[in-house]
A and B are shown apart, each in its own frame.
Chain A
Amino acid sequence: SQQGEEDPQALSIQEGENATMNCSYKTSINNLQWYRQNSGRGLVHLILIRSNEREKHSGRLRVTLDTSKKSSSLLITASRAADTASYFCASNTGNQFYFGTGTSLTVIP
């Protein structure tokens, strides 16, 4: 399987704290993307980082990419209760995407 892995599997933090989740993938990539999934809904794209980029920011999101280690991390700063969701990384190779197993984030008000 080319499926990636994420850790931690679950994360519970207080509102206002930062949340960091990590992703490992298995193949060479064109880019790596992070998605969010609220319970019972489809995935929503958050941010994309290309293979030649090392860091990218979007609002309260910061993504890093280390292609030598085949890993990425997503940092959500100043978390809010509304950030409660599952987060998935997806490595893009050619026409296909390989999703990680996801991190379930709970932000306690």
Chain B
Amino acid sequence: NAGVTQTPKFRVLKTGQSMTLLCAQDMNHEYMYWYRQDPGMGLRLIHYSVGEGTTAKGEVPDGYNVSRLKKQNFLLGLESAAPSQTSVYFCASSYYPNQPQHFGDGTRLSIL
């Protein structure tokens, strides 16, 4: 039972490049979340999904897009990376929105 798996673990991009971060969970959770963690800021919600085929904006959605084509996968895309998007990105999932979240180990993304 792997829980929540994020790929890749590390990535360096140049400004303007695009990329997709993948999150996979094997717990049959309905809810999935993407956060970013910056020093001194804690975690901030980017986008979330309440089930397969659904997505919604969180607190800091600008510059990101997401898709949930399969229940177990939640993809986060950066269309045109900017240095301000340098951060650690965490994916999480839960059965219901008021239940504990299970987190992956993060993707460390640097944009030069």
List A residues at the B interface (Cβ < 8 Å).
1-4, 30-31, 33, 35, 40-45, 48, 88, 90, 92, 94-102
Contacts and interface: CB of A to CB of B under 8 A. Distances in A.
A42 B103 contact: yes
A104 to B, nearest CB: 11
Given A96-B58, A97-B45, A42 B31 contact: no
B27 interface: no
Interface magnitude class on chain B: 20 to 34
B43 A88 contact: yes
Contacts, number: 66
Contact of B44 (A31, A43, A94, A99): A99
Given A94-B97, A97-B33, A42 B105 contact: yes
Contact of A45 (B4, B58, B101): B101
Contact of A99 (B31, B42, B105): B42
A96 B42 contact: no
Interface in B76-112: 90, 92, 97-106
B69 interface: no
A48 B102 CA distance: 13
Given A3-B41, A96-B48, A30 B105 contact: no
